[in-house]
Structure 1
Amino acid sequence: MSDEKGSAIVVIGGGISGLTTAIEAAEAGQRSVIVERNPYLGGRVAQLNRYFPKLCPPYCGLEVNFKRIKQNPKISVYTSAEIESVQGSEGNFKVKIKINPRYVNTKCTACGDCVKVCPIERSNSFNFGIDKTKAIYLPHELSYPMRFVIDASPGVCPGKSCSKCVSVCKYNAIDLDMKAETVEINASSVVYATGWSPYDAAKMDNLGFGKVKNVVTNMMMERMAAPNGPTKGKILRPSDNKQVKTVAFVQCAGSRDENHLAHCSSVCCMASLKQATYVRESDPDTKAFIYYIDLRAPGRYEDFLKKIQADASVVMIKGKVAKIEEDAETLDPIVTVEDIAGGKKITQKVDMVVLATGMEPSLKTANVSTNVKLDENGFVDADAQAAGIYASGVAKRPNDVTTSLQDATSAALKGIQSAVRR
Structure 2
Amino acid sequence: MTETADRSPVVEFDHNSDAHSDDPAGSYRRLRTEHPVAWTEAHGGYWVLSGYDAVFEAARDDYTFSSARNSYGGEGLSVVIPKTPAPFHIPIEVDPPEFKKWRKLINPITAPAAVERMEQLVQHYVTAFIDDIIEVGECDMTSVIGVPAIVTVDWLGLPIEHWRTYASAFHALLVAVPGTEEFDRAVTQDLPMLEEITRKVIADRTADPKDDIISYLVQQEVDGRRVTSDEVFAMVDLLLSGGVGTTASLVSNTVVWLYQHPDVRQDLIDHPEKLERALEEFLRYFSPTQALARTVTTDVEFQGADMKEGDRVLIAWSSANRDAQQFDDPDEIDIERWPNRHTAFGIGAHRCAGSNLGRAMAKELLSQFLTRMGDYVVDLDQLERYPHQGTNTGWQRIPATFTPGPRLLGTDAAPGR
- TM score, norm. by length of structure 2: 0.25
The structure where strand makes up a greater share of residues is 1
Question: Relative contact order (alpha carbons < 8 A, sep ≥ 6): 1 or 2 greater?
Answer: 2
For the pair shown, the structure with the greater C-alpha radius of gyration is 1
The structure where helix makes up a greater share of residues is 2
- TM score, norm. by length of structure 1: 0.25
